[in-house]
Each structure stands twice: as C-alpha cells, then as structure tokens.
Amino acid sequence: DGLQVYTALNIELQGFARKAIAEGLHELDRRQGFRGPLAQLKNEALRTLFRDRYRGELGLALGVEFAPQQGETYLAVVTGFDAKGLTVNLDVAGKEGLMPLAGMRWARRPDPTERVDLHYVTDVRRVLKKGDVVSARATTKQALAKDTHGWEVAESIPKEGDLYALEQEPIAQGALLSVDPRSGYAVAQVGGYDFEESTYNRAVQACREPGSAFKPVVYSAAIDKLDYTASTPVDDKPIIFDDPDNAMRWKPDNAGLEFLGKIPMRTCVKDSINTPAIRVAEAVGIEDVIKNARRLGITTPLKRELGTALGSSCTTLLDLLQVYVTINQYGERRDTLFVRRVVDRYGNVLEDNSAAWDPTLDFVSRLDRAYARLVTPKRQALDPQSAFLMLSLLRDVVQDGTGVAASHTGHVAAGKTGTTDDSFDAWFMGFTKNLVTGVWVGHDKKERPLGVSEQGGRTALPIWVGYTIRALTDYSTTPAKKKAQGDFAPPPGVVRVSIDPDTGKLARPGSARSVPAYYRTGTEPTEVAPDRSVFNAEEQNPFQIDEEIGAPL
C-alpha cells in the first residue's frame, strides 16, 4: 500500500555477517569429514550427458570454453588421478581441472569421535573414484599452500592448470545477531546458512540451551545482591543434588573433569568452571537468578532449578544478546530495534524508533529525540557499578580465558563462550565499546552433536572474530565517528587494584603475575598475597584432599 519501511540493518555489516557465518560453517563441516560424492556416473555416456546439461545450466553456448571464477563453487566429475595419489583430475563443464591433495586433506571418513587434525588424508584415491560428482571451489596455488600444514603437500600442488578445492554444503546451522548498543539498532542479522533453503530465523525464533553463555546472569546477580567481587572465594569441588520426587541424582561436572578447591570468582568466570556457578546460584537463590534474567532481557521460560545456572533452560539469541547489551550499557536496558521508521505514501510517519544520533534525521528531529531521551526515565536493570564489575570479568574471559581468541580483533573486547552437554550447541556472546554480537552454531534437531572438541571457543568464536574484524574496520573507515574505538571507563564508586590471580588477594609489589581487577569502593581486598618465592610442603600442596570424593577440601 505504498508503505516505506526503513530497517536498522547496515548493508555492509549484513554482508560481513553472512560471509562470517558461511566461512565458519564450512570450516566446521570440514572438521567433521567428507560425507561422500553427490553422485556416481558409471560410464562415459552418463558423464557426457551430465557435462552437456551442466554447461547449459551455466549458460555456455556450444564451443564456448568454460572460465572458472575464483572463489566460486562448481560441479565437477572425477576423470582420474596421478600415479602418486596426490592429484585428482576433473572435468568441470568440459574443461580440465586439477584438485591437489592440499585442497582435500580434510576429507577423511566422518567419525564424530575423532579429531580431524589427527587424521588427514594422504592419498586422494582413498576418498574419490572415477565418475564421482563433487563440489569443487576454484582457487589458487597460494590459497592452497596457505592451508597445507606441511611442505611435502605444498610441493605437490601443480604449478599450472585450473586448481580446485573440494567442498560440501554444511549440514550444521548458525545464526548471528549484531546490535549497536547505544541506539539498539540491529545492524546485522543472519538466521541460517541459506535463506533460500530455509526461511526459519534462528536468530529470533530458535530456542536453544545457552550453556555457559548464561552464567553472566548468575554472577551479575551475586555482584548486585550479595556484593560478590572478583576475589570472592568460591568452592570448586564436586557437588551432588538428590531429587527424591523424580528419583534422580545430579552431579554437575567441569569440562576438564578437575576440581581446584577454593578459587577467586574471577577464575570461575574466565575459565567457565561449572560447579562454582552452581554454588553461586545456590547462594543467590534460583528465584533471584531468574528475576535478574528478566531484568536483563530474557523473556523465555526458565526452569526453577539450579541447572538453569549452567544454561539448561532454552532461550533465543535475541534474548541472550539483550543481556550483553545491558551489561555493555552499564546496566541500562535498551530494546533491540529492527525497524527505524515506517512512512505511508503521503509522507506520514506511522512508526518512528529512530535514535537521536541517527545520521538520516534532520537536525530538528535529532534534537527532539535527544530531549525525549533526556526526560524519559532510564530502565536500569543493574546499577552501573554492578554492571561494570560484570563487564570487567567478561573482559578477563577475552584477555586470558576461554574467549581469548576474541582479542584478535585488536580492540578492547569482552564476552563469554557457551557450550551445551555433548556439544549440541556452541555460542559466543561478545562486545566491543560500540558493537554487541552473538553467534550460535548447532543442528536444527537435537539429534546430532557438532563433533568432538567442538565448543563455543572453537566453533562460534571464530565466526564472531571474522565478523567483528570486518565490521570494526568498516566502522573505523567511515567519515562518521569511529565507532570501533574506545575503552570502558569505570563509573564513580569503582576502584581498580592489582591482584594475585591465584588467590584474589592484593598483588605483592613488583609481582610479575599481577592482574588488574575492579571493585566497588570499600570491597577491594586488603590482604597481600603470600610470597611465592618461599615454599614449604604445605604451600606446595595447599589443598587437603577429601579421599572419598577425590577432590580438594
């Protein structure tokens, strides 16, 4: 009816998001092995028929030679191999192509119990047969050599001819949602690998268990309600819960199956240790944890059980991202906006969610919105001090914890990994000063795990990094304010001190192992950490072992 809808999406960032999702899912798929050829053409007549039909699909007239475009994927027929099993000969739309071992080393037989880096292919003849139809991506010698992991394989790459790498369509799905936290604009949104194959939007519709990506809800509640700090000691030892009503016993484990005894809360967060999160949730009370989740932006149903502290209740990427936007904004709730403005055919504005600093607005409109924002009461989910203390712990996750790869963006960043039991879901939720982005990877049906060693830091985080690097580079090269730059300044009432990371106590003067930590004024540690240059037998083994459970007391 002539309506004009102005979305919050940024076209450039949307392209970066799609590219990052595609790259990440392809990389994950390669780690799981080769599922086999698309078809098998057993005789020359079938191969000729296939070639002619495929040339027609590509729009190639009779006598016109096929010219591959770098980075594009084509259907190819295997026509033979070299004598050493290092190169596959291909027919691509009637033109000869070569697929060296370097382009298919990942193509082992699928086995969800094995790591691909321990089982690389060494002979292409063990993977493909003459007449196999495969997907082949046009590439270059330089690109192939970059991924060979060994000079022997690099030396086997042909010096001439059209080169290809083996490809296959990913079977896992992924979603990415990216928000400008100041305006609430959803600047990029990808709901799956291929919209033409599936219109299901996993960024806003899929309800999945967030795993450890939910833990900031628990720890921020403890900071806000109980004045927990980075140094608060938390027990990391086995804990068992009995449920007589359901005749069940639950014993949460840590990812490394190790227990460390009493450790500072900073360590619990940055290393994503499970049992301390349960103990903190128990101290806060699960009802208050759920109330905090609601304040921070989660709307999906949450189970009233301690397992919720480990992300056992499903939520959406949109809801979970709202938690991180709120922390990024020092505890102030900002709704995520997908539509900026709706105008009818006569120029009447039917809906307007534009932010005061929206560059598409005229000066008067921006002034009106700035005034409206000034007089509208803030929705403060957490006080600024509590939010900043949680933010600083999430920075530790990136600096030397499970999310350390996020530091590769070259910008100040904070975030949290998340992985569910048996690696059915992998998450990374993270942010810089002016961009909050969440990534989820998994299968639509919870029937297939992602694979051995697949977890938030390995599966979802590289997608986040790939997108964020491009997005921040784009921001920093625009004439507008350089959104990529900036650190998080502590609000009034917060102090910074240097602590010993192992004990949470004040670092000794001149200590090489000290780390910065933030505290609400008056809650910072006052006791100095012991001198580690002096040892005795008790200090070398500071934990007494409970022989019954095999863990520190």
Q: Kindly give the confidence (pLDDT) of every residue in the chain, 553 residues in length, as a single tens digit, with 9 standing for 90 and above.
A: 678 898 999 999 999 999 999 999 999 999 999 999 999 999 999 999 999 999 999 998 888 999 999 999 999 999 999 999 999 999 999 999 999 999 999 999 987 677 666 678 999 999 999 999 999 999 999 888 876 655 566 777 888 899 999 999 999 999 999 999 999 999 999 999 999 889 999 999 999 999 999 999 999 999 999 999 999 999 998 888 776 665 667 777 787 668 889 999 999 999 999 999 999 999 999 999 999 999 999 999 999 999 999 999 999 999 999 999 999 999 999 999 999 888 888 888 888 888 877 777 778 877 877 877 777 778 899 999 999 999 999 999 999 999 999 999 989 999 999 999 889 999 999 999 999 999 999 999 988 899 888 999 999 999 999 999 999 886 655 544 444 457 899 999 999 999 999 999 999 998 888 999 999 999 999 999 998 765 544 444 444 445 444 455 5
Beta strands in 221-365 (DSSP E): 233-236, 241-243, 248-250, 261-264, 339-343, 349-352
Q: Which pLDDT score is estimated for 26?
A: 95
268 with 236: CB under 8 angstroms? yes
87 with 60: CB under 8 angstroms? no
Structural domains in the chain? 36-167 (2.40.50.140), 173-227+266-476 (3.40.710.10)
The pTM of this model reads: 0.89
Q: Count Cβ atoms within 10 A of the Cβ of residue 169 and give its class: 0-12 exposed, 13-18 middle, 19 or more buried.
A: middle
Give the bridge partners for 4, in sequence order.
343
Residues 6+ apart with CB under 8 A from 368: none
**Cα 346 versus chain centre, distance:** 44
Listed residue (356, 217, 199) closest to 291, CA to CA: 217
Please give the Cα distance from 70 to 355 (Å, whole number): 41
Please give the Cα distance from 26 to 28 (Å, whole number): 5
Instruction: Work out the angle between the directed axes of helices 384-400 and 317-328 (0-180°, nearest 10).
Output: 110
